[in-house]
Amino acid sequence: MGYLDLNFELTDEQIALKESVHKFAKEVLRPAAIELDKLANPADVIKKDSIYWQCMKQMKELGYHTVFFPDIYGGLGLSPLELHMFWEEMGWGSAGFAVSIGVDCFPAFFASMMPNDRLIDEIVLPFVNTTDNSIIGCWAITEPNHGSDQLSVGMPWHNDPSINGQVHAMLDGDEWVINGQKSSWVSNGPNATHALLFLNIDRSMGLAGGGIAVVPLDLPGVHHGTCLNKIGQRELPQGEIVFENVRIPKDYMMTEPETYEMGLDTTLAIANATIGAMFTGVARAAFEEALNYSTVRIQGGKYLFEHQLVQRKLFDMWQKVELARAYSRAAMNYNLSNTPPVTRFSISSKIYCTQVAFEVASEAVQLFGGYGVSKEYYIEKLFRDARAAMIEDGSNDVLALEAINSLLREHI
């Protein structure tokens, strides 16, 4: 079902965008996600003939991988409002596919924000112009011993020289030499051709002494791990990447320690705002499942929706979805329209919307009763997908500490 948009200023083109993405999410992504979720072996998600590849190719043919890119590079050039509408519908269809196509653009998109001629010619334009699966990107930041702490700009541990990242780069002439391991939680890690790699350069600065590079993953010394076996978003392949004396051109290192925290902050602002939009869609999907089920299930001699307790639960769920949309739209609009962003609003959007998605999905499972935990019904998958979101892109608890400390630093 659709929803009443409270924005009276939507253009015909924006409404058409929302409707077309919703149609694709409903007819292509959701059925594929359900099919891939049933696979016992997560490695089968990216087998040669998997429907995963068909969906990724279809999205690229539609230009979905270019939604963040401006017209000058051949991207769709969507506004922040249009981006939110796009990602909400994608999340409504499949959280896993939404994340997969989202991180797909990270290497090229970051290169387009800090461009040099080589990056534009070798990374940005080939990615934007691809309509097949020959280029797949990933965001490689999480490590075996470092997760949300890597994102915590301004927190005490971020500048502690005794705490260092596990992937390190050293400059050797005109090349950077990279060694270390990224953990199993790298989205698109097992199948990516390029990584936006967050690494350590200056150990004396702790986690703050980092760099951000584009790394082609067909270089000698790159090793992909197996697909992670997990409870939710199983249509999203995740796995570790190991680097052994991997050499990249000097120009491929876009951010060094002097500007690393600014680059990290900008990346987090965009990523968390996007997750907020995606999981507004997941929350909406869970609410719709509960609403629809309440009109066909009979208990106590009448339909579920006729019970006042159920009506109150449905109201609370609907209200949370509407508030999630309003807040996440505002955060995305502000932070994608201003430099530098006020990242705590993106963080808050991510925390609020993923929590709402989980709460709405959990309440929906309760309304379904025993059927809610049955593989027969889609709500069971939505519940698992929503639970994973409170950890990915930064644990909600740690992100909350970063956000409130950002606010406190401005007032103390």
Asked if 290 and 377 sit in the same domain, the reply is yes
Looking at 244, 260, 276, which one is the last position of a domain? 260
Element (H, E) at 141: none
Query: At residue 171, what is the residue type?
Result: L
Could you tell me if 158 and 292 lie in one domain? no
Is residue 4 a part of any domain in this protein? no
Structural domain contains residue 404: yes
Q: Which domain holds residue 182?
A: 137-260
**Nearest Cα residue to 197 out of 267, 295, 286, 282:** 267
The pLDDT score that the predictor gives to residue 1 is: 63
| C-beta separation of 208 from 219 below 8 A | no
Beta strands in 119-239 (DSSP E): 137-140, 167-172, 175-182, 194-200, 210-216, 222-224
- Phi, psi at residue 272, to the nearest 5°? -65, -35
Residue type, 349: S
Residues 24, 86 within the same domain: yes
The alpha carbon of 95 is separated from its chain's Cα centroid by a whole number of angstroms, namely 8
Cα–Cα distance between 1 and 17 in angstroms, integer? 16
Rounded CA-CA distance 32/40 in Å is 15
In whole angstroms, give the CA distance from residue 306 to residue 21: 33
Residue 200: phi and psi, rounded to 5, are: -105, 135
In a shared domain, residues 302 and 366: yes
pLDDT in tens, 215-264: 999 999 999 999 999 999 999 999 999 999 999 999 999 999 999 999 99
Residue 412's Cβ-side half-sphere holds a number of Cα atoms within 13 Å equal to 6
Give a yes or no: residue 3 inside a domain. no
Mark whether 83 and 180 lie in a shared domain: no
Closest to 160 (Cα-Cα) out of 198, 208, 200, 201 = 208
Any residues with CB less than 8 A from the CB of 147 and at least 6 apart, and which?
A: 183, 185, 394, 395, 398
Asked if residue 284 and residue 241 are part of one domain, the reply reads no
- Quote the CA–CA distance of 265 and 275 in Å, as a whole number: 15
Residue with tokens 């990374």: 123
Let me know if residue 48 belongs to a domain.
yes
Q: Could you tell me if residue 29 is inside a domain?
A: yes
Clarify whether residues 229 and 298 are in a common domain: no
Cis (ω within 30 of 0) for the bond into 115? no
Whether 244 and 284 map to the same domain: the answer is: no
- Residues lower than pLDDT 70 in the chain: 1
* Domain CATH code at residue 155: 2.40.110.10
Same domain membership, residue 148 and residue 115 = no
Q: What is the pLDDT of residues 64-76, one digit of tens each?
A: 999 999 999 999 9
**Does the predicted TM-score (pTM) go above 0.85?**
yes
Give the pLDDT confidence of 305-364 residue by residue, as tens digits: 999 999 999 999 999 999 999 999 999 999 999 999 999 999 999 999 999 999 999 999
**Counted domains in the chain:** 3
- Which structure tokens are listed for 406? 């950002």
